[in-house]
Amino acid sequence: MSRGTREELLLRRERLRMRSGQLRQEWSLQVQVLRAPLGLADQARAAVQWLARNPEWPLGAVLLIVVLRPGRVLRWSGYAWQGFSLYRRVRRVLGTRPAI
């Protein structure tokens, strides 16, 4: 390898290293936008895991609501049933749709 070719390669490598550093810096700034939503997702995951480990608390809360407000529970369970029925109908209609 000639001396000129070696120098060109070293210069090119140095430019690539500098560009890589710039790109890393830009990327780290752009990623900051995701920090808050990802933190929120982590909190939600932790809450779901806690609920899975401690099912007695949400069940106790539901039982308390049923005892204190039975009319409201019946009304909301009716809404939930209607929503579930609508979901099933929509899913059935979309499931029979021909593929494009």
pTM: 0.46
Residue pLDDT tens, the chain, 100 long:
678 899 999 999 999 999 999 999 999 999 899 999 999 999 999 999 999 999 999 899 889 988 999 999 899 999 999 999 999 999 898 886 655 5
Domain ranges in the chain?
A: 1-54, 55-100
42, 48 Cβ separation under 8 angstroms: no
Structure tokens at 9: 């390669």
> Residue 56: which residues within 8 A CB-CB, separation 6 or more?
none
Predicted local confidence at residue 95, as pLDDT: 83
Q: CA-CA distance, 32 to 17, in Å (whole number)?
A: 23
Predicted local confidence at residue 90, as pLDDT: 92
Count CB-CB contacts under 10 A for residue 66: 13
73, 66 Cβ separation under 8 angstroms: yes
Q: CA-CA distance, 28 to 59, in Å (whole number)?
A: 43
* H helix runs in the chain, sequence order: 3-53, 56-68, 70-95
